[in-house]
Each structure stands twice: as structure tokens, then as C-alpha cells.
Amino acid sequence: MKKNGMLNSHIAKVLADLGHTDRIVIGDVGLPVPPGVPKIDLALRLGTPGFKEVVDAIAEDMVIEKVVIAEEMKAENKETLQYINDTFRDCEIEACPHERFKQLMGDAKAVIRTGEAKPYANCILQAGVHFG
């Protein structure tokens, strides 16, 4: 048994297989998953697990160079926006319209569904490279 780090075997496999610029999505309970993109469903009930909890766990194991969020988060979910800005202050953060966000999901390696029930609590994490 793995001692620490990402214990979810499906997420651990996706993270291990990521190359530079590959993307994964962490989404709220209502985010639609494009056909053909694998979904890892962590949702147990509304709010569990939360978006922040899942993002924190993944960020511990993933080199992240860029984060994409929906522009609508700025008006509809300021708490999550602040969390994204604080957590990823050393990364590029791109905001785009939610419809564009959903289009970008089409080439993701996986969508990880949380139980989060707040609007626009979604992000695309783009893999960087670890040289050290």
C-alpha cells in the first residue's frame, strides 16, 4: 500500500502519465464531462469532497504551470477565485468564458468530479515539467 501522496489509484495513474502541457480538470458536481474524456467521480454527497480539498491534494503531487478558470467565477464565486489566486500565485491563471472552458475540456486527460455545489468551482490544471 502506498504510504503517502495521492492514494486514489485512478488519479495517481493519470498524474503519473501526464506530460508537459497535458491537462486535467477538477469540476464541481454539475460540470458536464465531454464524451470520450475519462471521469473520476469522487462525489459522495453535495459538498463532499469539496473543490479546495481535491485541488490541494492534486497540487501536492502535480507540477502545475497554468490554471484555466471560467471568467464567470469572478462575479459568481469570489471565495473560490481568491483560493485559486492564493494557491496558484506562481502560475499563469487564464480566465475564459464558461462555454470556452467546456470546449477546452475536450482534450483533458481526465475530469475529476467533486461534490462541490458552488457555481463555477472548476479549473483546468496544465502540467509543467519538474527538472530538479
Q: What is the pLDDT of residues 76-117, one digit of tens each?
A: 999 999 999 999 999 999 999 999 999 999 999 999 999 999
pLDDT tens-digit map of 20-72: 999 999 999 999 999 999 999 999 999 999 999 999 999 999 999 999 999 99
Q: Please report, for the domain that includes residue 88, its CATH number.
A: 3.40.1650.10
Pick the closest to residue 23 from 7, 9, 10, 37 (CA basis): 37
Where residue 4 falls among pLDDT bands split at 50, 70, 90? Answer: confident
85 is in an annotated binding site: no
Q: Which three cell numbers stand for residue 55?
A: 485541488
121 is in an annotated binding site: yes
Active-site positions? 20
Please count the structural domains in the chain: 1
Where residue 1 falls among pLDDT bands split at 50, 70, 90? Answer: confident
Give the pairing type, strands 123-127 and 23-27.
Answer: antiparallel
98 is in an annotated binding site: yes
Domain span including residue 95: 9-127
- DSSP string over 32-86: PPPTTS-EEE---BTTBS-HHHHHHHHHHH--EEEEEEETTHHHH-HHHHHHHHH
- Give domain status of residue 82, yes or no: yes
Cis (ω within 30 of 0) for the bond into 49?
yes
Pick the closest to residue 55 from 26, 29, 81 (CA basis): 26
Among left, alpha and beta (phi > 0; psi -120 to 50; other), residue 94 is beta
122 is in an annotated binding site: yes
